[in-house]
Homo-oligomer: A and B are copies of this chain.
Amino acid sequence: MFPSDMPLAPDRGFASDNFAGAHPAVVDAVVAANVGHAPAYGADEWTGRVEAIFRELFGPRSQALLVWNGTGANVTALASLVRPAECVVCTESAHIAVDEAGAPERIVGAKLLTLPTPDGKLVPEQIAEVAHLQGNQHHVQPAVVSITQGTELGTVYSAQEVAAIADTAHRMGMYLHLDGARLANATAALGGTRAALRSFTVDAGVDVISFGGTKVGALAAEAVVYLNQDLAERARFVRKMTTQLPSKMRFVAAQFEALLGDDLWIRLAANANQMAAQLYTAVSDIPGVRLDRGPQINSLYPYLPAEVIEPLSRWSFFWNWDVAQHQVRWMTAWDTTPDDVARFAAGVRHALA
């Protein structure tokens, strides 16, 4: 029986980092950018400054294009790299494969070649195996490898792992795209410095990044960052074709200026990661909670007794992950507090007592 005397639910639940609002500095920056007229479509000074900040992060040959959301960033990135009868190699759990309503297939016009993984991470050997499709005129030709960092399963590639994938991809004539909807969380997990960021992106040989801002404190701000300007040449047109060219771009740029300044985005992600670690500690000894592993970024995927899932999620909402396995997802956000963690863990413990 689910207890009727549940403790107070946390102020901020563990459903999704998309449930969080925006960091005050982001909103302040938008308010501050709302002064008079400014050129549209990216010719404004805010966008100019943010493009320069991205070049500081990723080097002088990089080029960032601002967009609104992750699907838009991914589709813009892929459509600028893929030609007809080519395909994108990714994991079976990749966001582009599972959660973008077919936008890649429709807009990029390409098949996704999905490979199974236990942990959301591709390995070079899997990529090498698709070589047998190269030159086969009946099959789409592998053109891009797309990996997610941190992955949809809460794991993180090391810089060495990304570099090995990039090597394999490049040797096979493919590009490497990195879906960084949670790039901030991965960066925090791998050291939390700009050098760490560079180690698994530009230094590792990544060609283009979907750089996420929304989940880590923006209202709606993502970027497609080309680490090689040559690939960005046609990307401005592709962005518009993807419907992702903001007219009043200064307001997207202002969000990024706030987030990127003083590495706020990394610090916010570090908090989310830390709260996930605390949650893991707080629940891992609760009888009935089974966890395959501790969190590398900001999500846990616990298995719970079947009958407790629905009432517990009514108490403090979270999503199912794998219904058949009674597996759910608990996710922290940039604004999750130790008190939120403590209250949520207390509720879980009480419900399973």
A positions within 8 Å CB-CB of B = 11-13, 15-16, 18-22, 24, 27, 30-31, 33-41, 68-72, 75, 79-80, 83-87, 98-103, 105-112, 132, 137-141, 214-215, 219-220, 234, 236-248, 251-252, 317, 323, 333
Give, as a whole number of angstroms, the nearest-CB distance from A28 to chain B: 9
How far does the alpha carbon of A39 sit from the alpha carbon of B21 in the complex, in Å?
10
How far does the alpha carbon of A296 sit from the alpha carbon of B236 in the complex, in Å?
33
Q: Taking each of A18, A31, A214, which has the highest tally of chain B beta carbons within 10 Å of its own beta carbon?
A: A18
A238-B85, A248-B22 given as contacts; is B111 within 8 A of A105 (CB)? Answer: yes
A110-B105, A139-B101, A241-B106 given as contacts; is B40 within 8 A of A251 (CB)? Answer: no
Query: Which residues from chain B contact A39 at a C-beta distance below 8 Å?
Result: 15, 19, 317
A214-B248, A248-B214 given as contacts; is B31 within 8 A of A19 (CB)? Answer: no
Give, as a whole number of angstroms, the nearest-CB distance from A74 to chain B: 9
Could you name 8 residue pairs across A and B whose Cβ atoms are closer than 8 Å? A11-B37, A16-B40, A27-B31, A70-B247, A100-B240, A100-B243, A103-B242, A106-B110
Q: Is the CB of B107 within 8 A of A111?
A: no
Number of copies of this protein chain within its complex: 4
Query: Which residues from chain B contact A72 at a C-beta distance below 8 Å?
Result: 243-244
Q: Is the CB of B21 within 8 A of A36?
A: yes
Give, as a whole number of angstroms, the nearest-CB distance from A246 to chain B: 6
How far does the alpha carbon of A15 sit from the alpha carbon of B38 in the complex, in Å?
10
Q: Is the CB of A237 within 8 A of B12?
A: no
How far does the alpha carbon of A30 sit from the alpha carbon of B110 in the complex, in Å?
36
How far does the alpha carbon of A83 sit from the alpha carbon of B237 in the complex, in Å?
11
Q: Is the CB of B333 within 8 A of A139?
A: no
Say which residue of B21, B36, B100, B237 sits within 8 Å of A101 (CB atoms). B237
Query: Which residues from chain B contact A317 at a C-beta distance below 8 Å?
Result: 39
Give, as a whole number of angstroms, the nearest-CB distance from A300 to chain B: 17
Query: Which residues from chain B contact A109 at a C-beta distance below 8 Å?
Result: 84, 102, 105-106, 109
Give, as a whole number of angstroms, the nearest-CB distance from A90 to chain B: 13
How far does the alpha carbon of A318 sit from the alpha carbon of B230 in the complex, in Å?
31
Residue of B nearest to A20 (CB): B37
Residue of B nearest to A73 (CB): B243
Query: Which residues from chain B contact A112 at a C-beta distance below 8 Å?
Result: 111
How far does the alpha carbon of A243 sit from the alpha carbon of B100 in the complex, in Å?
8
